[in-house]
């Protein structure tokens, strides 16, 4: 007769059990986690990216207007009477307009105001002095649709009000003399100490494309920009 000997189980005995691979042991999970981290880092960097900026110095103080936070990239395509026209230049749109100041001698920029411009699509900015007032003119190129025209570059005239320390809108519209502009800057074209707005403009007449450099000033009495001079670029 065969006798079977069994060792009684103890409540203190421990036999490890094999577990299936968990989520975090999977290589796929680590790849997904790394991808999420990279996306978050990219968005944080994009939120701080300076799309465009302009500076102007007056009475010992330097002012800076910056378009910050990349929002989108657009390519202009004409429609209606500009059907079939296009530009290869990308328009990089930002989210915010931020105004800074610092002593002209140098130092850190101090933020004065921050504005949400995400619905406007700012892509270029210029600063200058167009009249005898101490307020500084700020021109912003927006990219948006208007009541009468589809998406495209639009002119916005602002002024940085020294007394109120904020941007005040002077004028905005669908376009100025030409339907499309691709760059903006302030320049004293006649040496009178006042600057004019200089726009790089494009226009199509029939099948011919024309490239202009056009100078504008802003007449506050008439509440509108006025064309002063146009140069044809070959």
Q: DSSP of the chain, one letter per residue? A: ------PPPPTT----------GGGSHHHHHHHHHHHHHHHHHHHHHH-EEEEEEEEETTEEEEEEEEEEEEEEEEE--GGGTT-EEEEEEEEEEEEEEEEEETT----EEEEEEE-TTT-EEEEEEE--SSSSSEEEEEEEEE--SSS-SEEEEEEEEEETTTTEEEEEEE-S-SSSSEEEEEEEE-SSSSS--EEEEEEEEEETTEEEEEEEEEEEETTTTEEEEEEEEEE-
pLDDT in tens, 176-215: 989 999 999 999 998 888 999 999 999 998 888 999 999 9
State the pLDDT at residue 42.
59
15-24, 136-145, 162-171, 180-189: which has the minimum mean pLDDT?
Answer: 15-24
State the pLDDT at residue 116.
96
pLDDT band at 175 (very low <50, low <70, confident <90, very high): confident
State the pLDDT at residue 233.
85
Most confident of 6-10, 117-121, 148-152, 190-194: 117-121
State the pLDDT at residue 30.
65
- Tell me the mean pLDDT in the region 206-226: 86
pLDDT in tens, 17-67: 555 555 556 677 667 777 776 666 655 555 579 999 999 999 999 999 999
State the pLDDT at residue 87.
93
Average pLDDT over the chain reads: 86
Choose between 19 and 135: higher pLDDT.
Answer: 135
pLDDT band at 174 (very low <50, low <70, confident <90, very high): confident
Confidence (pTM): 0.78
- Tell me the mean pLDDT in the region 68-80: 92
State the pLDDT at residue 17.
58
From CA 155, how far away is CA 169, in angstroms rounded?
11
Percentage of the chain surpassing pLDDT 70?
82
**Token reading at 52:** 């465009």
pLDDT band at 79 (very low <50, low <70, confident <90, very high): confident
């Amino acid at each position: 007769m065969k006798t079977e000997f069994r060792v009684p189980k103890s409540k203190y005995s421990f036999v490890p059990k094999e577990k299936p691979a968990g989520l975090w042991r999977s290589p796929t999970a680590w790849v997904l986690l790394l991808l999420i981290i990279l996306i978050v880092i990219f968005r944080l960097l994009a939120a701080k990216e300076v799309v465009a900026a302009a500076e102007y110095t007056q009475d010992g103080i330097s002012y800076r207007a910056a378009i910050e936070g990349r929002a989108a990239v657009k390519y202009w395509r004409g429609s209606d009477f500009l059907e079939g026209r296009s530009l290869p230049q990308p328009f990089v749109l930002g989210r915010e307009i931020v105004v800074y100041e610092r002593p002209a001698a140098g130092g850190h920029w101090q933020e004065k105001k921050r504005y949400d411009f995400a619905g406007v699509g700012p892509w270029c900015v210029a600063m200058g002095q167009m009249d005898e007032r101490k307020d500084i003119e700020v021109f912003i190129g927006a990219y948006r649709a208007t009541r009468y025209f589809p998406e495209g570059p639009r002119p916005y005239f602002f002024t940085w009000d020294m007394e109120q320390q904020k941007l005040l809108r002077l004028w905005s519209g669908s376009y100025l003399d030409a339907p499309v502009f691709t760059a903006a800057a302030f320049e004293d074209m006649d040496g009178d100490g006042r600057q004019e707005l200089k726009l790089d403009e494009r226009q199509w007449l029939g099948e011919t494309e024309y490239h202009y450099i056009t100078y504008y000033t802003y007449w506050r009495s008439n509440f509108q920009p006025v064309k002063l001079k146009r140069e044809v670029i070959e």
